Amino acid sequence: MRVIFLGPPGAGKGTQAKRIMDACAIPQLSTGDMLRSAVAAKTAVGVRAKEVMDSGALVSDDIVNQIVSDRIDMDDCKSGFILDGFPRTVPQAEALTNILREKGLDLTAVIELRVDEDALVERMRSRVAETIANGGVVRSDDNPEAFRTRLHEYREKTAPLSEYYAKTGELKTVDGMADMDAVTASIRKVLRLD
């Protein structure tokens, strides 16, 4: 099974992707997590990406396309994977189509979590409070200014992907405002996991 999760920052993509990953025993490929690891390890990509990520802007398509293409070649992706946070621009979606075609793979579904944008800033604040309460490290882009930029980037560059995947017939929309278990149930239904 090969699935893409689409939705704005704070829509719950990461949480839902983890649940489906556990249910299907396939990895969650989060470009955000991969880039944060590169930043922490101070790799060449990490050094280039850090400032852009901290501002809430998007890292260049070339960097993320390569990271994803390399990651899909790894053994644990043989039975499938969940893409969380990629693609985020139309050129990335086009690159992914080519990457999958070259590898002889296809997509099972593109799941869009539709959420009310007014709720997103509040969700980000709750995530920060929860992380602090659990003694975790708050993401450097989970602050009001970077979050505004992340939302802007989403509206400008990522939202058009709904239309892109509607045209390919792969888009499935799920109500992301329902409680977490109900959202998981809707996704399971779309993926025919029950």
Q: Which sequence positions are flagged as catalytic?
A: 13, 88, 127, 139, 150
Segment 73 to 132, residues that bind ligand AMP, using CB under 6 A: 85-86, 88, 92
Nearer to ligand AMP, 55 or 185 (CB): 55
Q: Please identify the residue of the shown chain whose CB is closest to the bound ligand AMP.
A: 32
Applying CB under 6 A, among 7, 8, 9, 12 the residue interacting with ligand AMP is 9
Tell me: does residue 12 bind ligand AMP (CB under 6 A). no
One-letter amino acid for residue 3 of the chain: V
Segment 127 to 186, residues that bind ligand AMP, using CB under 6 A: 141, 150
Measured between alpha carbons, how far is 14 from 29 in angstroms, rounded to an integer? 10
Q: Which residue has the tokens 């969380």?
A: 84
Residues 6+ apart with CB under 8 A from 173: 111, 112, 114, 162
Give the DSSP per-residue string, 171-182.
EEEEETTS-HHH
Tell me: does residue 59 bind ligand AMP (CB under 6 A). yes
Report residue 128: phi and psi, to 5°: -65, -45
Nearer to ligand AMP, 120 or 187 (CB): 120
Tell me: does residue 45 bind ligand AMP (CB under 6 A). no
3-state helix, strand, coil in the chain (%, to 5): 60, 10, 30
Tell me: does residue 8 bind ligand AMP (CB under 6 A). no
Measured between alpha carbons, how far is 9 from 176 in angstroms, rounded to an integer? 12
Query: Which residues contact ligand AMP (rule: CB under 6 A)?
Result: 9, 31-32, 35, 52-53, 56-59, 64, 85-86, 88, 92, 141, 150
